Structure 1
Amino acid sequence: MASVDEFETTVDSTEEDESDDEESEEEEEPKLKYERISNDLVDILKKDCISCLAVHSKFLAAGTHWGMIYILDHIGCHIRDTEITAHSTTVNQISIDDHGDYVASCSDDGKVLITGFYTAENNQSLNFDRPVKAVAMDPLFYKHGSGKHFVTGDDKLVLNEKGGLFSRHRTTVLHQGEGPIREIQWIGDFIAWANDLGVKIYDMSTRSRITHIPREHGYRPELYRCNLCWKDEKTLLIGWADRVKVCVIKDRVNDDARNLPSRYVEIVYMFKVDFFVCGIAPLGTDLVMLTYDKPSEQGTIQDSSSKRPQLQLVTPHMEDFDVISSDALSLRGYEEYKCNDYHLECLPEENLFYIVSPKDIIVSKLRDEDDHVTWLIDHEQYEEALAVVQQKENTLQKHNLQSLGKDYLDFLLSKREFEKAAQLCVKILSKNKDSWEEQVYKFAKIKQLKSIAPYIPRENPVLDPAIYEMVLLEFLLSDAERFLQLVRDWPSHLYKVQTVINALLDRLDRDRGNTYLMRALGDLYSYERQFDKALSIYLRLKHKDVFQLIHKHNLFGSISDKIVQLMEFDKEQAVSMLLNNMDKIPMEKVVNQLDKITRVFVYIFR
């Protein structure tokens, strides 16, 4: 099964040397995430090394040091086993037309190949008899009548095209005499290339060169490659050694008597960095840069961790920049590689960035809301994570309120924050019967039923009777007052009343004088319609509701032998009840019981 491996990164190694105070500061959430491309690419890298990569929305084209070009999907699987035996040695650059119908490649073997995926009609193989370091295809190469343009770079920039009556191959030298050309990028009407002296841009619409941007550093161009990337059809990004420039092509407003090109280039951002740039790409108004640490003053890299390339997200300014994030990347074999061994390719429209080394390809992308929630969870910021999920649950793929809430509940229980967890159950579990029962059992397992009892639902949902009985039993054994409160608060249909009565009777055998338990027993007998037993307990306890119980359930037949107890408990209520219900309790029965006590006159008087 195809897969993409998760890829671990670390923060910039400079952060690891900060003081203890700075280490204690709150960790900042990363902006990018990384995945290692695997699948068929793994087998390729066992026998070969990547020398360059070109990316398209349809596929990846990987060139190798053995001269092969492998066409892969974005997770590293062969596309219809497509591989091109293109060259006899290192592939230096690959270019793809906008439709993804053709690829162009160049190599140190001096050959330039144009290969079509769907037709061989426009395939070409040219031999320059000298190493060709760069090639770029007209983005519209696929179109009929486009001229089939492409440019090559060795010691000169050569435009190749088909034209004329017989569509013959023609070449035009666009520039030469300033050293080898090692990088070419073509977008729309504009071709940008770099030689030893600087970067130049050629306008195909006017067939003229419109600018020269000087190198402005002293590093050897063959060791520190110039990296060019078009942000859009008018904006060129340049990262070369320790210099970064953002250039914008503009139209001249007024005609100039000096016969200057109709377009010119303005450098809108330009700054020096304290590292080497291995690749550059756009991300909105920010820049993504693949970087490599400069050697120390002694000429060696300071330590092994600093040799790892870093992917930095920065905000450019005219003479400076702000670092948004910086991630050190542990690419396979990074200990052996230098600046030019790394490449950065991108799909700007998808915000995908491909970090390339001879034995690895890592894809980086912006972290999404799911990643944000995962990061919050990993840093135990569950309340913030819950807020995000509640707001954006419909757009999340990996997280939902139910699963996140359960994780948070488990976290709170592990931290012994039982009351907070119990309160949260109402919000998280809502009307889910199974989830409620699962959580109650978790609380029972850690002997914390007392915490969750006030929040257990009594309706919508109604839980299994065993749940309520378990909670009642917990309080029966440990807190008689709370037990009585639950017996009165919870509707009796929630549990099996007789089961609770049996447990309560067993408990009373060991604690006969407990009035809370006796009162609960009276209530439970009443729920079971065992009113005689309930009345007996109420009278014994001199319960204030005894008269209400008699009236409500018409228990007058049951009190004929309890007149004295009722009088001793509350003679006013007793006399009133007896006088108002003489048809139910004959006066003779009342007098027979009262003639034994001196207070009989009270009843007679009334």
Structure 2
Amino acid sequence: MEDNHGYDEVRTMPVEYKPAEMELERRGSTDSKKVMNGNIEKPVRNGQDQPSGSEQDTETDSDEEEMPPLLKYTRLNKLPTNFFNRDSISACLFEDEFFAFGTHSGLLHLTLPDFTAIQTLKLHRSSILSIHSDNVYFATGSIDGTVAIGLLEDPSNITSFDFKRPIQAVVLSEDYATHKTFVSGGMAGEVILSQRNWLGNRVDTTLVKGEGPIMGIFTIGDIILWMNDAGITFCSIHSKTQLLNVKFPNDGSDEVRPALYKPHVHFPESDRIVVGWGKHIWMFKVSLKSSVDYGKNLGSILSSAASSLRAVPDKKVELEHYFELRLQIAGVASFKDDQILCLGFDTESKENSNIPELQVIDAVSGVDVYSDEVITKNYKNLSINDYHLGKHINESFTEYFLISAKDSIRIQVFSLNDHYNWYLKKGNYLKAWEVGKYAATPDERLSTGFKYVYQLLDDDEWECAVSFITSLIASNVKEGQQVDRLLEESRKVFMVFIDNGKVDCLAESIPTEPPLDRSIYDSILNYYLEERKLEKFLDCIHKWPLNVYSFQGLQDQLEEKIEKHDAFEDTYRDAIIHLYLIQKLYVKAIPHMIKRKDIRVLDILLTHNLASQITWRILDLVLLPYDDDIKGLNKLSLADAKQIFEKPMNLLVCNRHSFQTSKVVETLSSPKELRLILFLYLSRLSVIDPDLTAKYENDLIDLYAEFQKDQLLGFLKRRSNYDIEKAIEFCSNRRGFHNELIYLWGKIGENKKALSLIIDELNDPNLAIEFVKNWGDAELWVFMVSYSMDKPKFIKALLDSPDQFGKTYLEVIRAMPPDLHVDGLKSTLVRISKDNALNLQVSTNVFKIIDDETKGYGLEYRKYMTMGKVFHVEERND
């Protein structure tokens, strides 16, 4: 809270306004309010202390939507009591280093910006209407027709000038100490420039006259402006030329006279001028041009009277914006964000028309952004000219002062700290918490956050409360602020949830990082467990880290409940399975998982090499992925069975040294419906480790015949540990195993039996011929020929096959019964004859080629054998 020393209560009444689109965050309240030391209170209006019934409800709803005001007001109480009691203020001046207040009795009060008195001077016989300063000297103009000028450092040294007519305005030159020049004007209707000559006498020069009373005179740089019936006139001091004249707006009524209103001028920047006069606001821009040829003060006007300077327009003044307000203006000042603060009276409303109003308008659009009616002391007996508005900028902030004949009020923009306290007082703890990020200590803001939480609880907004606490914890933990206190306060709030049975909404959003007090989580889990809300119980233990609750005690409870074997046993098992798994207590989890037919147990056993722990649960493990009755296995196709039991088979085969083959075979041998699984097991194991299935190969023959007949022949060819005699007997006693029998007969050398089976049972001449060729036995070929002579199909196949033994065709033809009819025999014989003739011709031609080549080589050889060879012998001389 701010220091309130030196300030009293001020009442304000905000009026309806139209906020600019960009100013929505600065809207004022549409309800009446009271400001005491910067804190907003509801005033007592219409003689009623409290609203009743539906009015009270309406006011409550309005308060919930109410936005904080833009401005705050505090009454000044440091000023001397005679400011208002025995005398009243008639003019004000607010400078950076001092303030000046003129009174109706002609007194001038000089104070520091903190209102510490400097000196009080008696300067005039009646009201002071104008005060000006160049920060070295000050000047005052009075209704008594005099101008008083003094030195700020020695206020007692005063020089007075009598103009015989009331002075409305006076301004000093920028360098009064050098030129002793000032300009004044008033009811005489003249703008007079005055200067002391070298003899010390006052010399007056009239700059303008005959255009009505001079209502105000101001300077900016080397530009002078004044207001009279001709409007607002700007002149260049250097060139003595008029730069701009803006007429006072006339609505056609004789009552609209400029002299009825006091103009108010503010300089927000070095090249900007704001003029408030009547109901009108003008904003001007000055284009500055510097020149060493020109003087920079009012004193240059005198020397220019001798026409020694060039009359060159050295400045340009442009009207940027103009607005007409609903207020009669009593003061203007620049405000933040290109806005203007206006003091005035509402001309459109007869009710409370004598209550001063502060209005903030957009400097570009003229839109009314914010309005407050400020109730000052004795406001009913005051008029517009009894009010003044000043602005002062210190090192920390900007403040405004509303001064009336009987009152003085400081105006400040609502700060973040003000917003924070305002929301707190209104009970809007959420907004206070939001603003508190920038305006409160972490501890204060945390307290405010929990006030909002308890407010939500009072309103039965349980879900919103837990959501807010979650965000509160997240933000504070991230910033490392008040963590211990935060967690403790959160624990208290969450216990309220549990005590009121609001466990569901708490469990949905309760944070776990950082973990709260373990009792909170334990209470939630115990509640769900005892109330048998087991789905929510499972959801909690699945999403919460193990370290936030007492999991060991919870495991003991679940084990006890499982032993009761009630309707909820499966859910209890699911819960304890989860707890054991996240602790990696697989040995404890596995029995429960098998009971629940949890397929994950197979992966655990494979991954963590735990198969040796449960070798006695073979059937349970095998049937884990199968949900139907065992009798339903007979309906499964082999492909489906392979897919369903893939993991159990992987487990048994990969852990074949833990799961004894004999034990597995024994387990899967009965009931008979398990034979399909036994086949899957033995067939896979025989591929991975044939030695382990060697003694079960006879059984495998039976299993292959039953479940995968088309692979039996391959199995018989790959394996050799089965009993061939039993295999032959097995295949002989069943239909459709001819290929297997042929292989088995051939394996033991009974080729003729095998061939007879091919011929008699299969009636496949091509297979018979291939069988004989594979064995390469001529005797077997003769047997086949003789054995098949009564079979036209075989005779035809023999004649169509290549004659590898050189006399097959002849033997077949000779052995054929004369009366045997063979389809296509004639064409076959014709082909054979053609083939024989062609072979004979080919053989003859080959013989001829060979004979010719042989004869040529022989002749060549004989030629070389009968030739002599000449040797040249060199003679040697010894």
Alpha carbon RMSD of aligned pairs, Å? 5.8
| Alpha-carbon distance in structure 2 between the residues aligned to 1:36 and 1:272 | 29
Partner of 1:69: 109
Residues 523-582 of structure 1, C-alpha deviations (whole Å, 9 max, x = no match): 324445655543343333333333444455555565366556556656966676456546
1:240 matches 2:272: no
1:40 matches 2:72: no
Match of 1:291 among 339, 344, 347: 344
| Alpha-carbon distance in structure 1 between the residues aligned to 2:599 and 2:574 | 11
User: Is the 8 Å Cα contact of residues 70 and 370 (structure 2) preserved in structure 1?
Assistant: no
Give unpaired runs (5+ residues) of structure 1.
18-23, 253-258, 296-300
| Alpha-carbon distance in structure 1 between the residues aligned to 2:412 and 2:402 | 8
Match of 2:140 among 96, 105, 109: 105
Residue 293 (structure 1) shift: 2.7
Residue 375 (structure 1) shift: 11
User: Is the 8 Å Cα contact of residues 181 and 194 (structure 1) preserved in structure 2?
Assistant: yes
Residue 188 (structure 1) shift: 1.8
Distance 1:488 1:141, change over 3 A: same
| Alpha-carbon distance in structure 2 between the residues aligned to 1:494 and 1:588 | 48
Distance 1:485 1:277, change over 3 A: closer
| Alpha-carbon distance in structure 2 between the residues aligned to 1:121 and 1:46 | 22
Match of 1:82 among 118, 125, 128: 118
| Alpha-carbon distance in structure 1 between the residues aligned to 2:130 and 2:317 | 26
Match of 1:484 among 538, 560, 563: 538
Residues 130-156 of structure 1, C-alpha deviations (whole Å, 9 max, x = no match): 6854444436247xx642433344545
1:342 matches 2:381: no
Report the residue type matching 1:357 in the other structure. Answer: S
| Alpha-carbon distance in structure 2 between the residues aligned to 1:419 and 1:36 | 38
1:149 matches 2:181: yes
Report the residue type matching 1:188 in the other structure. Answer: G
Match of 2:330 among 252, 266, 278: 278
Identify which of structures 1 and 2 has the higher relative contact order when contacts are C-alpha pairs closer than 8 Å and 6+ apart. 1
Report the residue type matching 2:263 in the other structure. Answer: C
Residue 452 (structure 1) shift: 6.1
Partner of 1:538: 593
User: Is the 8 Å Cα contact of residues 65 and 89 (structure 1) preserved in structure 2?
Assistant: yes
Distance 1:575 1:14, change over 3 A: closer
User: Is the 8 Å Cα contact of residues 146 and 167 (structure 2) preserved in structure 1?
Assistant: no
- Number of residue pairs matched? 561
Partner of 2:862: none
Which piece of structure 1 moves more, 585-594 or 471-480? 585-594
Partner of 2:15: 11
User: Is the 8 Å Cα contact of residues 355 and 373 (structure 2) preserved in structure 1?
Assistant: yes
Residue 357 (structure 1) shift: 2.5
Partner of 1:92: 129
Partner of 2:721: none
Partner of 1:497: 551
| Alpha-carbon distance in structure 2 between the residues aligned to 1:249 and 1:549 | 86
| Alpha-carbon distance in structure 1 between the residues aligned to 2:230 and 2:456 | 63
Partner of 1:329: 373
3-state DSSP of counterpart to 1:498 = helix
| Alpha-carbon distance in structure 1 between the residues aligned to 2:648 and 2:321 | 98
Residue 495 (structure 1) shift: 3.8
| Alpha-carbon distance in structure 1 between the residues aligned to 2:525 and 2:104 | 75
Identical positions, percent: 22
1:56 matches 2:101: no
Report the residue type matching 1:356 in the other structure. Answer: I
| Alpha-carbon distance in structure 1 between the residues aligned to 2:523 and 2:79 | 58
3-state DSSP of counterpart to 1:482 = helix
3-state DSSP of counterpart to 2:594 = helix
3-state DSSP of counterpart to 1:52 = strand
1:309 matches 2:356: yes
Partner of 2:571: 516
Residues 166-220 of structure 1, C-alpha deviations (whole Å, 9 max, x = no match): 7x36342535666654533222223333456755555433467777766656357
User: Is the 8 Å Cα contact of residues 151 and 158 (structure 2) preserved in structure 1?
Assistant: no
Partner of 2:866: none
Report the residue type matching 2:387 in the other structure. Answer: Y
Report the residue type matching 2:576 in the other structure. Answer: L
Report the residue type matching 1:363 in the other structure. Answer: I
3-state DSSP of counterpart to 1:278 = strand
| Alpha-carbon distance in structure 2 between the residues aligned to 1:499 and 1:44 | 81
| Alpha-carbon distance in structure 2 between the residues aligned to 1:565 and 1:85 | 111
3-state DSSP of counterpart to 2:328 = strand
Residues 62-121 of structure 1, C-alpha deviations (whole Å, 9 max, x = no match): 334462424242xxx234x42433447544322232xx444333445666444444x339
Match of 2:224 among 184, 191, 195: 191
Residue 327 (structure 1) shift: 0.8
After TM superposition, list the pairs within 5 Å mapping 1:120-269 onto structure 2: 120=154, 123-126=157-160, 128=162, 133-138=167-172, 140-141=174-175, 146-156=178-188, 157-162=191-196, 164=198, 168=200, 170-174=202-206, 181-195=214-228, 200-201=233-234, 203-206=236-239, 218=255, 224-230=261-267, 237-242=274-279, 262=313
User: Is the 8 Å Cα contact of residues 236 and 247 (structure 1) preserved in structure 2?
Assistant: yes
Report the residue type matching 2:330 in the other structure. Answer: C
| Alpha-carbon distance in structure 2 between the residues aligned to 1:274 and 1:531 | 84
Report the residue type matching 2:130 in the other structure. Answer: Q
Report the residue type matching 1:159 in the other structure. Answer: L
| Alpha-carbon distance in structure 1 between the residues aligned to 2:621 and 2:268 | 96
3-state DSSP of counterpart to 2:277 = strand
| Alpha-carbon distance in structure 1 between the residues aligned to 2:537 and 2:138 | 80
- Please identify the structure whose Cα radius of gyration is greater: 2
| Alpha-carbon distance in structure 1 between the residues aligned to 2:108 and 2:279 | 32
| Alpha-carbon distance in structure 1 between the residues aligned to 2:245 and 2:497 | 74
Report the residue type matching 1:328 in the other structure. Answer: D
Residue 520 (structure 1) shift: 0.7
Residue 54 (structure 1) shift: 1.7
The normalised TM-score by structure 2 is: 0.50
Report the residue type matching 1:61 in the other structure. Answer: A
Residue 590 (structure 1) shift: 8.0
| Alpha-carbon distance in structure 1 between the residues aligned to 2:225 and 2:181 | 15
Partner of 1:361: 409
| Alpha-carbon distance in structure 2 between the residues aligned to 1:343 and 1:483 | 71
Report the residue type matching 2:278 in the other structure. Answer: A
User: Is the 8 Å Cα contact of residues 202 and 210 (structure 1) preserved in structure 2?
Assistant: yes
Residues 210-232 of structure 1, C-alpha deviations (whole Å, 9 max, x = no match): 77766656357775323344566
| Alpha-carbon distance in structure 1 between the residues aligned to 2:624 and 2:288 | 106
3-state DSSP of counterpart to 1:78 = coil
Distance 1:277 1:417, change over 3 A: same
| Alpha-carbon distance in structure 2 between the residues aligned to 1:162 and 1:415 | 81
- Considering fraction of residues, name the structure with more strand: 1
Residue 39 (structure 1) shift: 5.9
3-state DSSP of counterpart to 2:139 = strand
Partner of 1:20: none
3-state DSSP of counterpart to 1:205 = coil
User: Is the 8 Å Cα contact of residues 18 and 369 (structure 2) preserved in structure 1?
Assistant: no
Match of 2:474 among 426, 429, 432: 429
3-state DSSP of counterpart to 1:539 = helix
3-state DSSP of counterpart to 2:598 = coil
User: Is the 8 Å Cα contact of residues 466 and 510 (structure 2) preserved in structure 1?
Assistant: no
| Alpha-carbon distance in structure 2 between the residues aligned to 1:487 and 1:270 | 70
